[in-house]
Amino acid sequence: MTIAVVGAGLGGLTLARVLHVNGIDAVVYERESSREARGQGGMLDIHSGQWALREAGLVDGFLAIARGEGQDMRLLESDGTLLLQEDTPEDAPLLRPEVDRADLRALLLDSLPEGTVRWGHAYESADNGVLRFAGGGTAPYDLLVGADGAHSRVRALLTDTRPAHVGQNVVELGIPDVDHTHPDLAAMVGRGTCWVLGDGISLAAQRNGDGRVRVGLSFYDTGEDWFTTSGIPFDDPAATRAHLIRLLADWDPRFTALIAACDDTIRRWPISTLPVGLTWPPAPDVTLVGDAAHLMPPVGEGANMALLDGARLGLALTAHPDDVPTAVREYEREMFDRTSAAARLSADLQELLMSPDAAQRLVAFFQPG
Ligand SMILES: Cc1cc2nc3c(=O)[nH]c(=O)nc-3n(C[C@H](O)[C@H](O)[C@H](O)COP(=O)(O)OP(=O)(O)OC[C@H]3O[C@@H](n4cnc5c(N)ncnc54)[C@H](O)[C@@H]3O)c2cc1C
């Protein structure tokens, strides 16, 4: 059985690892040229996905990189009013610790035999058991697994459905080495996430394990073309910061100070999702894991579902090593049910965040009863 996985993100690597611990080889084809080719994002909140890491034999490694204190949360209004503060006790169980995506990806990469990941292989097309890569090159497969993320190309083999923009655009900036460069801002953000909710705009400042604070400014009720029509000069980082500060003119000055302290790394992130409950007719030799299968708003479920998908598919293939179609059907049945529920939950939370009374509803959400 030749298993070809497209994409060395969390879903694809978990699949390869679970197969490996069960004595089955797979090859992971990744578009990026090396593991360091680009920044690997911010913090992820890992809860249900811990089960997958246990199946992958990586739970101790995970606990070593997990940041329990990253669960701390502060919720404020844009005038500076503190609505909620939750600090994680030292002895609290690691139910939803934060982990740097780069650390988690490195844990998975280091757990695989040399040569499992083939860097610099961008999937272009596949048919009749042959994969084709951009710039030439082919590879055989009995099972092709699309683990190629939000903008998956493999997805088109199974469904015509494409992600749709949800009316939210995020500008992400960051403050390096915050404890030394801006101790006052470090104290305000705390050890976890500091959320500020304004009118049609929210700010989430989150401490990363490497001392960087990531600042995500979300603009709600904005269209897919917002990054080009907003008038923000994204090609000039200093002018971008100045423009963002002007947009927050009526906010507490401590929050605009956060923007002023950011460096020149600016990421634009339009938020799109696949429809809740997306399925497709089974194919005997192709399936999807992670965002390729069920892209959700970024509210804490997507990475967990990708880890679980990878583990579940790995276990189904282990149970049916000579019958790929049965393994795929078994995996997809469980995956569709589980991820539909997670996507529904995520869509509800997204609706809450985008609502005019988001602050009050969020306080009620975090303090039920
Ligand atoms: C660089 C990066 C940074 C991220 N940062 C954050 C973050 O800060 N916060 C957050 O909530 N989520 C972030 N995400 C998304 C998050 O990792 C996913 O939502 C979640 O983990 C689901 O994982 P996945 O394995 O399905 O997809 P991903 O983790 O997105 O991995 C997909 C992989 O497929 C590769 N790929 C894509 N197209 C091709 C192709 N044609 N051929 C070969 N390989 C291909 C990509 O390079 C990537 O390595 C980030 C993703 C990436 C890739």
What pLDDT, on a 0 to 100 scale, did the predictor assign at position 297?
Answer: 94
Average pLDDT, the chain: 94
Given CA atoms 88, 93, 96, 102 in this order, what sign does their dihedral have?
Answer: positive
For 127, the enclosing helix (H) or strand (E) is strand 123-127
Which 8-state DSSP code applies to residue 111?
A: T
What percentage of the chain carries pLDDT values higher than 90? 82
Cβ-contact 273, 164 below 8 angstroms: yes
Q: Which residue has its alpha carbon closest to ligand 1 atom 50?
A: 41
Q: Which of 13-27, 87-101, 314-328, 332-346 has the lowest mean pLDDT?
A: 87-101
* Residue, of 138 and 36, whose pLDDT is higher: 138
Distance (Å, whole) CA 335 – CA 279:
10
Cα radius of gyration rounded to whole Å, the chain: 21
What pLDDT, on a 0 to 100 scale, did the predictor assign at position 369?
Answer: 59
Q: Which of 45-49, 144-148, 301-305, 359-363 has the lowest mean pLDDT?
A: 359-363
User: Which pLDDT band holds residue 180 (cuts at 50, 70, 90)?
Assistant: very high
What pLDDT, on a 0 to 100 scale, did the predictor assign at position 257?
Answer: 95
Go through 110-146 and write b for each residue having 16 or more CB atoms within 10 A of its CB, e for each that does not. Answer: ebbeeebbeeebbbeebeeeebebeeeeebebebbbb
User: Which pLDDT band holds residue 159 (cuts at 50, 70, 90)?
Assistant: very high
**Ligand 1 centroid to residue 250 C-alpha, Å:** 35
**Ligand 1 centroid to residue 168 C-alpha, Å:** 19
Residue in 14, 17, 29, 31 to alter for ligand 1 test, most ligand atoms within 8 A of Cβ = 31
Residue in 5, 14, 44 to alter for ligand 1 test, most ligand atoms within 8 A of Cβ = 44
Write out the two tokens for 12. 């694809």
What pLDDT, on a 0 to 100 scale, did the predictor assign at position 38?
Answer: 80
Q: Summarize pLDDT for 187-206 with one digit per residue, the tens.
A: 999 988 999 999 899 999 99
What pLDDT, on a 0 to 100 scale, did the predictor assign at position 368?
Answer: 63
Q: Where in the chain is the domain with CATH 3.50.50.60?
A: 3-69+97-162+274-353
What pLDDT, on a 0 to 100 scale, did the predictor assign at position 210?
Answer: 84
What percentage of the chain carries pLDDT values higher than 70? 99
> Which listed CATH number (3.40.640.10, 3.40.1010.20, 3.50.50.60, 1.10.287.1080) goes with 3-69+97-162+274-353?
3.50.50.60
Residue 254 counted as an annotated binding residue: no
Q: Which residue has its alpha carbon closest to ligand 1 atom 20?
A: 303
How much is the average pLDDT of 232-250?
Answer: 96
Q: Domain 164-272 classified CATH 3.30.9.30?
A: yes
Q: Where in the chain is the domain with CATH 3.30.9.30?
A: 164-272
Ligand 1 binding pocket (C-beta < 6 A) is 6-12, 29-32, 38, 40-42, 44, 101, 122-123, 147-149, 153, 290-292, 298, 302-303, 306
Q: Summarize pLDDT for 47-94 with one digit per residue, the tens.
A: 999 999 999 999 999 999 998 888 888 999 999 999 988 888 888 888
Angle subtended at Cα 245 by Cα 239 and Cα 251, rounded to the nearest 5 degrees: 180
Contacts for 186 with CB less than 8 Å, ≥ 6 apart: 178, 179, 207, 213
Distance (Å, whole) CA 162 – CA 156:
9
